[in-house]
Amino acid sequence: MTLLHTPLDALHRELGARMVPFAGYDMPVQYPAGIIKEHLHTRQAAGLFDVSHMGQLVLSGPGSAALLESLVPADVAGLADNRQTYALLTNDAGGVLDDLIITRWGPDTFFLVVNAGCKEQDIAHLRAHLQGQTLEVLADHALLALQGPGAREVMARLCADTAALTFMHGMRASVDGVELYVTCSGYTGEDGFELSLPAASAERIARLLLAQPEVEPIGLGARDSLRLEAGLCLYGHELSAAIDPVQAGLVWSIGKARRPGGERPGGFPGADRIFRLIEDKPPLRRVGLVVDGKRPVREGQTVLDRNGKQVGEICSACFGASVGVPIAIAYVSREDAEPGTQLVVDVRGKPVAVTVAKMPFVPQRYFRG
């Protein structure tokens, strides 16, 4: 299969990145510093991520908010201009087709960022439901993420207006003469920003950011370990067409206006089943696991109770560089999901003791003003 390349491909190679196939793209998994150092640098200063493989879409036209609300449980109509919301595309069974970020750009205009691996199916899904609206794919745009406690100072230095942005807010801005859209958001649990900008200017802006003393390039490996420590879901792991928002612990993503008794209850695929699950509680829950020792566990491994009965499965795992031990996210039976519960993971026939832990594993440091 021929891999696609982001606008920063040459820069990644110049910086010594190890490139791997990911969601149809050739992407940097790490740079010479290595995943652990990249992870810790992001927690301590600022890391620059190339996330241009993600899908960037603009939905516009009368009724765009109502169209989106027919597909996701989020309160899209209630968004103010330049406000964002996390949203789930659900199916008729209440499962998740993808998770995405929706930003209102204007009365009938919304900017969507969808996962790279789901991009084509999401575009087809949205287009199949258009009722006179227009869906534009921003194929000529790049997406950069600047994450970490030093990110705000860096952005303030390059574009003073962005210093006032708070979590899940965005604005149009200019950096070094390049017009872009900046949001205060990210996938690491840290304060940070995402920059949507023309692909032709991506390398120049990336080099400008990397020239700042706080900033180092960060690959997909550390991006995954950072999001896992932050307790965030990854589509294809914690989320899928067979996993509902309730067991995933994402009931908060269902807007109050969209719940029973709200102003616009239901109306999205699978609403009735999801509402029943909120009341009846699904048999599985998403939980964090901390390994009691140094032996790593892996995605797909079986979780057992102390009597050897299978109670769940790991969906993501890594070494938590900020906490100093291996960690994981798993779905386990509700009765085994309380923090402090002692469980076991079957690692190639050998039991590895784990403890159910609250997520996030590290405090989230979003800037809320």
Residue where a domain terminates, one of 282, 297, 313: 282
pLDDT at 76: 98
What is the domain range of residue 126? 1-282
| C-beta atoms surrounding 36 within 10 Å | 15
CB-based contact 297:354 (threshold 8 Å) = yes
Query: DSSP code of 53?
Result: T
Residue 365 lies in a domain: no
Residue 256 lies in a domain: yes
CATH of residue 115's domain is: 3.30.1360.120
User: Which tokens hold the place of 69?
Assistant: 């609300």
pLDDT at 241: 98
pLDDT at 251: 98
Domain identity same for 208 and 340: no
pLDDT at 359: 98
Q: Which residue has the tokens 């705000």?
A: 152
Task: Per-residue pLDDT tens, the chain, 369 aa: give them.
Answer: 799 999 999 999 999 999 999 999 999 999 999 999 999 999 999 999 999 999 999 999 999 999 999 999 999 999 999 999 999 999 999 999 999 999 999 999 999 999 999 999 999 999 999 999 999 999 999 999 999 999 999 999 999 999 999 999 999 999 999 999 999 999 999 999 999 999 999 999 999 999 999 999 999 999 999 999 999 999 999 999 999 999 999 999 999 999 999 999 999 999 999 999 999 999 999 999 999 999 999 999 999 999 999 999 999 999 999 999 999 999 999 999 999 999 999 999 999 999 999 999 999 999 999
Q: Tally the C-alpha atoms within 13 A of residue 64's C-alpha that lie toward its C-beta.
A: 22
Q: What is the DSSP string of 80-134?
A: PTTBEEEEEEE-TTS-EEEEEEEEEEETTEEEEEE-GGGHHHHHHHHHHT-SS-E
Residue 318 lies in a domain: yes
Domain identity same for 44 and 171: yes
Helices 220-229 and 35-44, interaxial angle, to 10°? 60
Residue 366 lies in a domain: no
Q: Which residue has the tokens 């802006």?
A: 205
Residue where a domain terminates, one of 256, 282, 308: 282
Residue 82 lies in a domain: yes
Residue 368 lies in a domain: no
| C-beta atoms surrounding 106 within 10 Å | 11
Domain identity same for 246 and 354: no
Residue 341 lies in a domain: yes
CATH of residue 293's domain is: 2.40.30.110
Q: Tell me, yes or no, if the pTM score tops 0.95.
A: yes
pLDDT at 99: 98
Euclidean distance between CA atoms 247 and 283, whole angstroms: 8
Domain identity same for 308 and 190: no
